[in-house]
Amino acid sequence: MANPKLVAIDDEVEFIKTIDHFFTARGYEVHVAMTGASGLELVDYHQPNVVLVDLKLPGMDGDEILQHIRRTHPNIKVIVITAYNDGGKTRDRLLSLGAFAHFDKPVSSLRDLFDTVKRALPQAG
């Protein structure tokens, strides 16, 4: 099986660098974007297995990105990562819109995020 592909869309440079290094070191093909529009271009071009997306982005936000991916690439799993905390209402709404999972920022465990990404990958059968 080819290396799993991951697109990360976030406007925080250090977070993107961390995700890139962490997943690349574990055999993933990683592509990163700092805006929603450029992130969707990467999704369309690379057809990743999983997309990590921040909820609050300049221009196009994570909601719009999630809905676009669900419409155009229904097999791609989307994991939303956000610092926005409203007692779970946003998490529940995102999951109902088709997000595979939701993580709060700062991500307390890259290992937990990695395990969730692994669960999102298509199962070899």
pLDDT in tens, 54-83: 999 988 989 999 999 999 999 999 999 988
* 10 located within any domain: yes
**3-class state of residue 33 by DSSP:** strand
Residue 38 is assigned to a structural domain of this protein: yes
Residue 42 lies in a domain: yes
What integer best gives the mean pLDDT of the chain? 93
Q: Does residue 125 lie in a domain region?
A: no
Instruction: Give the pLDDT confidence of 76-119 residue by residue, as tens digits.
Output: 999 999 887 777 888 899 999 999 999 998 898 999 999 999 99
Model pLDDT for residues 13-44, shown as the tens digit of each residue: 999 999 999 999 999 999 999 999 999 999 99
> Considering just the CA atoms, what is the radius of gyration of the chain in Å?
13
Number of domains in the chain: 1
Q: Which domain holds residue 93?
A: 5-120
In a domain, 111, yes or no: yes
30: exposed, middle or buried (Cβ count in 10 Å: 0-12, 13-18, 19+) = buried
Residue 110 sits in a domain of what CATH number?
A: 3.40.50.2300
**CA 123 – CA 17 distance, rounded (Å):** 28
